[in-house]
């Protein structure tokens, strides 16, 4: 795959949610390059569920953007509590590369202890491990599948404009908080 400045990036983030919510919205923003928003995806997942990977794949396949998306990007792999995306499974089923960004290294001991309090903790932790090796680009950490590091870094350089997070994720976060609160809130 050749990555250019007009790469189509789907950035996803979960909407804000309360402890008693059972269903959480996930918002996706599709950018062409970084200057043009081409569309949005919104789909549901279960809080602390096991359906983010399957529901993301389904949302993309059913969308008019399915053939256009070159890469998916998110902040972390946990959504709606501990609904953990398996980027390896996602890539195997879609052949769409995936980039995970983080501001700091995850505390896997703390995460594993928290996971032990919910069902399927072993499977959930395996999904975290499937995200692979953590690398650094500038002030951001990332994991990826389906792209060479130079391509990931090109996409990060292209998409990080107004914050320390790629713009497609930032916009998805703003929309997600507006869905929940009626206005944008919080920091990505």
DSSP states of 122-170 as a string? HHHHHHHHTT---EEETTEEEEEESS-HHHHHHHHHHH--SSSS-HHHH
Task: Specify whether the CB–CB gap between 102 and 71 falls below 8 A.
Answer: no
Beta strands 71-75; 98-102: pairing state: parallel
What's the pTM value of the predicted model, to 2 decimals?
0.94
Q: Is residue 32 part of a domain?
A: yes
Q: Is residue 81 part of a domain?
A: yes
Give pLDDT, residue 162. 79
Q: Is residue 188 part of a domain?
A: no
Residues in the chain: 188
The rounded distance, in Å, linking the Cα atoms of 165 and 174 is 13
Q: Is residue 15 part of a domain?
A: yes
* pLDDT higher than threshold 90 for residue 185: no
Q: How many CA atoms lie within 13 A of 80 on its CB side?
A: 27
The rounded distance, in Å, linking the Cα atoms of 115 and 177 is 25
Q: Is residue 88 part of a domain?
A: yes
In the chain, the number of structural domains is 1
pLDDT tens digits for range 110-139: 998 899 889 999 999 999 999 999 999 999
Write out the residue range of the structural domain in which residue 107 sits: 8-181
pLDDT tens digits for range 55-76: 999 999 999 999 999 999 999 9
Confidence of residue 154 (pLDDT cuts 50, 70, 90): very high
Q: Kindly report the average pLDDT of the chain as a whole number.
A: 93
Residue 72 sits in a domain of what CATH number?
A: 3.30.2170.10
Query: Which token pair is 169?
Result: 């994720």
* pLDDT higher than threshold 80 for residue 186: no
Q: Is residue 1 part of a domain?
A: no
* pLDDT higher than threshold 80 for residue 1: no
Q: Is residue 175 part of a domain?
A: yes
Query: Which token pair is 111?
Result: 């995460």
Q: Is residue 14 part of a domain?
A: yes
The rounded distance, in Å, linking the Cα atoms of 22 and 105 is 29
Confidence of residue 89 (pLDDT cuts 50, 70, 90): very high
The rounded distance, in Å, linking the Cα atoms of 73 and 130 is 15
Confidence of residue 35 (pLDDT cuts 50, 70, 90): confident
Q: If residue 102 lies in a helix (H) or strand (E), which one and from where to where?
A: strand 98-102
């Amino acid at each position: 795959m050749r990555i250019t400045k007009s790469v189509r990036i789907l950035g996803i983030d979960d909407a804000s949610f309360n402890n008693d919510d059972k269903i959480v919205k996930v918002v996706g923003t599709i950018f062409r390059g970084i200057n043009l928003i081409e569309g949005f995806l919104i789909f549901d997942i279960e809080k602390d569920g096991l359906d983010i990977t399957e529901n993301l794949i389904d949302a993309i396949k059913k969308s008019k953007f399915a053939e256009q998306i070159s890469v998916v990007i998110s902040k972390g792999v946990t959504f709606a509590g501990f609904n953990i995306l398996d980027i390896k499974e996602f890539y195997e089923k879609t052949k769409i590369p995936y980039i995970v960004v983080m501001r700091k290294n995850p505390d896997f001991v703390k995460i594993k202890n928290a996971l032990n309090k919910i069902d399927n903790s072993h499977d959930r932790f395996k999904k975290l491990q499937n995200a692979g090796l953590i690398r650094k680009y500038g002030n951001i950490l990332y994991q990826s599948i389906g792209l060479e590091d130079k391509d990931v870094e090109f996409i990060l350089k292209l998409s990080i404009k107004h914050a320390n997070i790629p713009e497609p994720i930032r916009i998805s976060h703003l929309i997600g908080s507006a869905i929940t609160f009626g206005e944008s809130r919080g920091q990505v």
